Amino acid sequence: MSGCASLPNPRVLDCVEADGKFQVKDIYGSTYEQFVPCVEKPTTIALPTHKQLRDLPAPITNPYVIAVYSFQDKTGQRKSKQNLADFSTAVTQGGEALLIDALKTAGNGKWFRVVDRSITDYLVRERQIVKSTRQTYLDVEDEKEALQPLLFAGMIFDGGIIGYDTNIETGGNGARYLGVGASQQYRRDAVVVSLRAISVSTGEVLMNVQSYKTVLSVAQGFDVFRFVDMDTKLVEIEDGISENESVTYAVRAAIEQAVIGIITQGEERGYWKSRSSNEEINGEET
């Protein structure tokens, strides 16, 4: 027995599952039923760490200006494919995007004003174009119409993905009786993220946090291998499913947890205060 996969129809506008079938409405106005799953709709990622980061109490002062230059993959890991090295990396290369998102999420955007230094070259070029255009075509000399100065930061948040370990824990179980059996296997990987806050005025590392997140993979299978009809005919059936936790989601969760750790560590060391801690000190109700 063999199977094949069917591609979802990209012309589908709406798709609702009901009684094992999919009620489909396409771009031509037709409505029909099909057994093939429809194209999955995009969703907004809301990890537990994201909600915890968003619900942090706001600082008692204005948001702190933070600069982010890069957040690199320093693991050197490549995707493995049955004893072959793949050219794709094992973890995401967009760490700075995840870090900026986490910083802007902290306290619902009230903790940090983030300056993205990874696009400074593009920003400077664009400002030069704007300035040249105003002077040449609009003849703007008024200071009110001048470009605002670039925002400078008091701290730089730097770090990277420093570890991605595979097969740190593997296992499973299974059973078979009279040619009928079932099995379950799992594998646990881990990603480690390091984040540090550096003072712009002195270059001193003020805070440093490392966070750890596991990546779990589970596979389940069922099979039948039996001879029937006087042991002259063979029946073989296989079924199974595997589920792999997204490595990108794991990296994002680790980065968000590191930002939470930095905020907590900075509060403990007196670099900033949140509204809840300030109210507790003054004996007020939170």
Q: Domains of the chain, with CATH numbers?
A: 1-42 (no CATH), 44-116+152-281 (3.40.50.10610)
With beta carbons less than 8 A apart as the criterion, state whether 55 and 268 touch. no
Whether the per-residue pLDDT at 266 is higher than 90: the answer is: yes
The residue among 10 and 195 whose pLDDT is bigger is: 195
Q: Which residue has the tokens 């199974």?
A: 240
Whether the per-residue pLDDT at 40 is higher than 80: the answer is: no
Residues 156, 70: Cα–Cα separation, whole Å:
10
User: Amino acid letter at 23?
Assistant: Q
What tokens does 140 get? Answer: 């703007």
96, with CB counted inside 10 A (0-12, 13-18, 19+), is buried
pLDDT value for 5: 42
In this prediction, residue 263 has a pLDDT band, given cuts at 50, 70 and 90, of very high
In this prediction, residue 178 has a pLDDT band, given cuts at 50, 70 and 90, of confident
Residues 211, 258: Cα–Cα separation, whole Å:
6
In this prediction, residue 36 has a pLDDT band, given cuts at 50, 70 and 90, of low
Whether the per-residue pLDDT at 4 is higher than 70: the answer is: no
Collapsed DSSP state (helix, strand, coil) of residue 268: helix
Q: How many residues does the chain have?
A: 286
Residues 241, 184: Cα–Cα separation, whole Å:
10
Within 10 angstroms of residue 75's Cβ, the number of other Cβ atoms is: 17
CA 147 from chain center: how many Å?
Answer: 35
Ordered alpha helix ranges (H), 143-205: none
Within 10 angstroms of residue 182's Cβ, the number of other Cβ atoms is: 15
Give how far Cα 124 sits from Cα of 65, 113, 117, 119, 200, Å. 19, 19, 11, 9, 21
Determine which helix (DSSP H) or strand (DSSP E) holds 265, and give its type and residue range. Answer: helix 247-268
Q: Give the residues across from 18 on adjacent strands.
A: 21
The tens digit of pLDDT for each residue in 106-151 reads: 999 999 999 999 888 999 899 888 888 877 766 655 555 677 888 8
Residues 114, 65: Cα–Cα separation, whole Å:
6
With beta carbons less than 8 A apart as the criterion, state whether 92 and 251 touch. yes
Task: Kindly give, in sequence order, each residue whose CB lies less than 8 Å from that of residue 239, ignoring residues fewer than 6 positions away.
Answer: 221, 222, 223
Whether the per-residue pLDDT at 283 is higher than 50: the answer is: no
